[in-house]
Amino acid sequence: MEGKSVFFLGDVASAAAIFFKLNQKKPDHFDSAFWHARCLAQLGKTEDAEEEYLQLLSINSQDPRILFQLALLKLEQEQIPDALEYLRRAALFGEEMAMMLIRLGRVYYRYGLFDEALEEMEKAKILLGKGHTLEQSILSLIAGIREASENDPN
C-alpha cells in the first residue's frame, strides 16, 4: 500500500492524504481507515484520531491493533486508567499470537530452518510467560529444535 510506504518514510501528512482519498473511494476499507487514524494521531490530531479509532472499534471491538493505538492516545493524554483498560484488552490476544508463533516455529522446523524456528518458539515462550500451561511443551519443543540443529549436517 502506497500510503504505508509514505508513512514509514516519514511523510505522514502525504500518507494521511492518500488514506483520506482511499477512504472516500472505499469507505468500508478497514486498513485505510486504520492507517488514516494513525496518521492523524502522528500529526497531533488526537481527537480526530480517537474518533476514527472508536468508529473502527464499533465495527470490531476486539481488534488488538485498534486497542493498542487507543491506549497510546490515552497515554499521551495522561488518561492512565483508560490506557490500561485498552492495553489489558489488547493483551488478551497474546495467547492467540503465541499459538500462531508456535505454529510458525513448527513449519520452520519442518523445513530445517532451525534458527528461525527457535526464534519463534522463544517469542511464544515470552508471550505466554512463566507458569503457563504450555510452558513445558514449548520448552520441550525448543530442546528438540536445538538437538535437531546440533545434529544437522548442514
Q: Does residue 87 share a domain with residue 99?
A: no
Q: What is the domain count for the chain?
A: 2
90-109 average pLDDT score:
92
CA distance 105 to 148: 13
Sign of CA dihedral 98, 103, 109, 115: negative
Q: How far apart are the first and last CA of the chain?
A: 38
Domain end position, chosen among 73, 91, 109:
91
Domain end position, chosen among 69, 91, 113:
91
- pLDDT above 90 for 21: yes
Please give the residue range of the domain that contains residue 129. Answer: 94-151
pLDDT in tens, 110-124: 999 999 999 999 999
pLDDT, position 152:
86
Under the banding of pLDDT at 50, 70 and 90, the label for residue 28 is confident
Under the banding of pLDDT at 50, 70 and 90, the label for residue 96 is confident
Q: Does residue 145 share a domain with residue 74?
A: no
Q: Does residue 112 share a domain with residue 61?
A: no
